[in-house]
Amino acid sequence: MKKIVFGSDHAGFSLKEELIPYVKSLEYQVIDLGTFSKESTDYPIYGKKVGEIVANAEADLGIVICGTGIGISIAANKIPGVRAACVTNLYGAEYSKKHNNANVLALGARMLNITQAKEIVNKWLQTDFESGRHQRRIDEISALDERDVEKFERISGNR
C-alpha cells in the first residue's frame, strides 16, 4: 500500500482534515504530520517535515496545504529530492506528474473548495510519470539539488 504524508499550516488545516479520509478511501496509507488545529503556525515547518519524509523515502508522496499553496511549496522545495508542485487545476495536477514527476502536491485552501481539491488529488494520484525525454529534466533538477554544476552541465549538454 502506498504511503502519503500530509502537512498543513493553520490555513490548510480544515482542507487537510477533509482530504485525509478521502485519500484513505482510495486505499493509501496516510501519515499526518500536522498541524492539528486552526491556531496560527508557520507553513515552512510543515513543508520541511513533509519534504524530509518524502526525500528520505519514508513515504511515497506528500501533500502540503497552506492558504495559497505557494508558500508551503516553496518551503518543501528547499528539501533536496523534493519536487513540489503548487496546483490549482486538473491540467496542472496531470502534468506536474507526467512531465515533472512531482512527489509533493501543494494545495491552496483559500483557492480551492473540497470538490476541486479532491479532483486534483485524484488526478495527481492516478497520473504516472512519462519518463523518456522528461527524465533528463528530472536529472537536471537532481543535479541542482546536489549543487553539482558539472553534473548539471554534463546532463544538460549546455543547451
Q: What is the pLDDT of residues 77-119, one digit of tens each?
A: 999 999 999 999 999 999 999 999 999 999 999 999 999 999 9
Domain total of the chain: 2
pLDDT at position 35 is 98
56 and 121 fall within a common domain = yes
79 and 153 fall within a common domain = no
Task: Name beta bridge partners: 86.
Answer: 106
- Give the residue numbers annotated as catalytic, written as ranges: 66, 99
95 and 145 fall within a common domain = no
58 and 134 fall within a common domain = no
145 and 83 fall within a common domain = no
Q: In whole angstroms, give the CA distance from residue 22 to residue 132.
A: 32
Task: Read off the CATH number of the domain in which 32 is found.
Answer: 3.40.1400.10
- Using DSSP's 3-state secondary structure scheme, residue 18 falls into helix
7 and 72 fall within a common domain = yes
Percent of the chain with pLDDT over 90: 81
83 and 25 fall within a common domain = yes
80 and 121 fall within a common domain = yes
Q: Does the structure show a pLDDT above 90 at 141?
A: no
80 and 96 fall within a common domain = yes
Contact 94, 36 (CB under 8 A): no
140 and 110 fall within a common domain = no
Instruction: Tell me the whole-structure pTM to 2 decimals.
Output: 0.94
Domain span at residue 145?
130-159
Cell output for 11: 490555513
Q: Does the structure show a pLDDT above 80 at 158?
A: no
Q: What is the mean pLDDT of residues 30-54?
A: 98
